[in-house]
Amino acid sequence: MAYDDLPLGDPRPRSAPVAPPPSSSAARWVAVGAAGVVVVALLVFWWLNRVQVVPAPPAPTTATDVALEASRPKRQQIDLPLLDDSDTLLRQLVATLSEHPQLARLLTTPALARGMTLAVVQIGEGRTPATPLKVLRPATHVQIQGTGTGRLDPASYGRWDSSAAALTSISPAAAAQLYVNIKPLIDQAYHELGHTGDFDEAIVRAIQMLADTPDIVEDPQLLHRQTYFEHDDPNLRGLRPVQKQFLLMGPINRQKVLTWLNALAKNLALKTN
């Protein structure tokens, strides 16, 4: 597996823009509407006590239901286009979350919903999302300290600084809200790939795949092959392709990405190990 395949995880869904504050006129109508709601609520409360209606028992809930209700954002009512026509809307929504130039490059790619869905699925399967995230591939190549064999030059980790910064420039809470808002599109793209179930499961698998990448104390020893590098350590050589690539981001970038992904999972009430 060539070491210049793309390892960045997950991109994950972003969030919808925060609505601007209402105008003073709109605010007055909101206040009037709120007062009306209070009056109606008081009248209903009086009537229920007058006729002594016995309330129905609450529906049973589980701890998972309670946690999901408490921390997962509610889907905002936005009109979603057809999946084939969703690029314009997604570009507008994601662009409001961050102005990082690397993210702007990603938004120029076509079929955004399908591409992001495919990237998450491939990472969860241990593959590198080289095609859907092609524009994020570094322009420079891996360097080692030596000729045929040597330790990875720590300067090579900087190849991924911009991609890691682009991801972490987005608020995980905002990304979670965006994901919930556009989830019907993501689910459709997910099912087009032949998968069943909920796309939430694909997100958990992708995060877990990256989290299972072992921490290494020293810069890895690499063997220079004709067109690529591979790990000298057989344990590292046996890792899944995306995990090998994740190691090439360097310990600092890996920690930044994992911290962000775990925050995203928390905001979506997804359980990861």
Chain Cα centroid distance, residue 20: 24
Looking at the fold, whether 175 and 247 belong to one and the same domain comes out as yes
Nearest to 253 by CA among 187, 168, 194: 168
Looking at the fold, whether 178 and 219 belong to one and the same domain comes out as yes
Radius of gyration of the chain (CA): 24
Looking at the fold, whether 224 and 118 belong to one and the same domain comes out as yes
- φ/ψ of residue 41, rounded to 5: -60, -40
Looking at the fold, whether 157 and 229 belong to one and the same domain comes out as yes
> How many domains, in total, are found in the chain?
2
CA distance 92 to 206: 26
Looking at the fold, whether 54 and 85 belong to one and the same domain comes out as no
Do residues 203 and 265 lie in contact, with contact meaning Cβ atoms separated by under 8 Å?
yes
Looking at the fold, whether 158 and 52 belong to one and the same domain comes out as no
- φ/ψ of residue 230, rounded to 5: -140, 160
Looking at the fold, whether 197 and 103 belong to one and the same domain comes out as yes
Task: Encode pLDDT of 5-41 as tens digits.
Answer: 434 334 344 444 444 444 444 433 333 343 343 333 3
Do residues 249 and 5 lie in contact, with contact meaning Cβ atoms separated by under 8 Å?
no
Within a domain: 15? no
Q: What is the block-wise mean pLDDT of the chain (273 residues), using blocks of 10 residues?
A: 40 42 41 38 35 40 48 92 98 95 95 98 97 93 88 95 97 98 97 96 98 94 89 95 96 97 97 85
Looking at the fold, whether 38 and 172 belong to one and the same domain comes out as no
Looking at the fold, whether 160 and 101 belong to one and the same domain comes out as yes
Write out the residue range of the structural domain in which residue 183 sits. 81-267
Within a domain: 113? yes
CA distance 120 to 195: 13
Within a domain: 231? yes
Looking at the fold, whether 218 and 96 belong to one and the same domain comes out as yes
Task: Give the long-range contacts of residues 117-120, CB within 8 A, separation 24 or more.
Answer: 117/186, 117/189, 117/190, 117/193, 117/199, 117/202, 118/189, 118/193, 119/10, 119/11, 120/10, 120/11, 120/12, 120/199, 120/202, 120/203, 120/206
- DSSP-assigned beta bridge partners for residue 223: 149, 230
Within a domain: 115? yes
Residue 16 makes CB contacts below 8 A (sequence gap 6+) with 76, 78, 93, 174, 177, 178, 181, 182
pTM of whole model > 0.95?
no
pLDDT at 129: 96
